[in-house]
């Protein structure tokens, strides 16, 4: 399920890049797409929401530096414990998006991954969180709130992408604008 959503977003992203190139006749689409997939900016997160009927999937991606405090592959007891404890803590009770009560959203599962490089040549590493909900009355909800910036204060912005059936919309959020539209697409 996770791969499907990323694939959808990546495909859409590549199409946009291709469209851009077609219009402006500059650059190499593959190089641009690769660059955007393999780099990140510290302080910047991505929020992807996929809605299919009553099933809602929320994915968060952010630099490990902002979530964990470091990006190197953990070494030593302290770093290993930090990773283990934070994973358990976040999977237990952290919901980055608050769905209002009237949405009747029920959290079905939550999964956290810290993606560390296998070799030491990489400088950056990513955090990913995936949450699955069943929402009976999502149509009653216009906007939702994120507590991502409250929980991880070094995050300064996030790009929001929403796929609702065959429609797609995007938004930007930051510590001063924590609400975004969910259903007006």
Chain residues in the site for Zn ion (CB under 5 A):
63, 71, 124
Give the residue closest to Zn ion by C-beta: 124
Our CA dihedral for 138, 143, 146, 147, rounded to 10 degrees, sits at -100
Least separation, in Å, of the C-beta of 40 and Zn ion? 6
Least distance in Å: CB of 153 to Zn ion?
17
Please identify, using beta-carbon distances, which residue of 71 and 128 lies nearer to Zn ion. Answer: 71
**Contact yes or no for 44/159 (Cβ under 8 A):** yes
Q: Exposed, middle or buried: residue 148 (CB in 10 Å: 0-12, 13-18, 19+)?
A: buried
Based on CB atoms, which residue is closest to Zn ion, 124 or 181?
124
Helical axes 2-24 vs 29-38, angle rounded to 10°:
140
Whichever of 35 and 176 has its CB closer to Zn ion, that residue is: 35
Closest to Zn ion by CB, 2 or 124: 124
Q: Whose Cβ is closer to Zn ion: residue 57's or residue 66's?
A: 66
Smallest separation (angstroms) from Zn ion to the CB of 115: 11
Q: Shortest approach of Zn ion to residue 68 CB, angstroms?
A: 11
Cβ 41 to Zn ion shortest distance, Å: 8
């Amino acid at each position: 399920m996770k791969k499907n959503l990323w694939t959808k977003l990546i495909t859409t992203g590549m199409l946009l890049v291709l469209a851009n190139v077609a219009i402006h006749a500059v650059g190499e689409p593959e190089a641009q797409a690769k660059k955007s997939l393999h780099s990140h900016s510290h302080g910047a997160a991505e929020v992807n929401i996929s809605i299919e009927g009553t099933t809602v999937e929320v994915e968060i991606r952010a630099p490990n530096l902002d979530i964990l405090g470091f990006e190197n592959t953990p070494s030593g007891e302290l770093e290993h414990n930090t990773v283990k404890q934070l994973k358990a803590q976040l999977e237990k009770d952290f919901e980055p998006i608050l769905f209002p009560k009237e949405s009747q959203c029920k959290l079905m599962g939550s999964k956290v991954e810290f993606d560390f490089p296998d070799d030491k040549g990489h400088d950056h590493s990513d955090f990913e969180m995936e949450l699955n909900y069943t929402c009976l009355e999502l149509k009653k909800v216009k906007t939702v709130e994120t507590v991502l910036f409250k929980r991880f204060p070094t995050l300064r912005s996030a790009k929001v992408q929403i796929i609702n059936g065959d429609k797609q919309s995007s938004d930007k959020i930051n510590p001063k604008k924590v609400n975004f539209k969910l259903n007006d697409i």
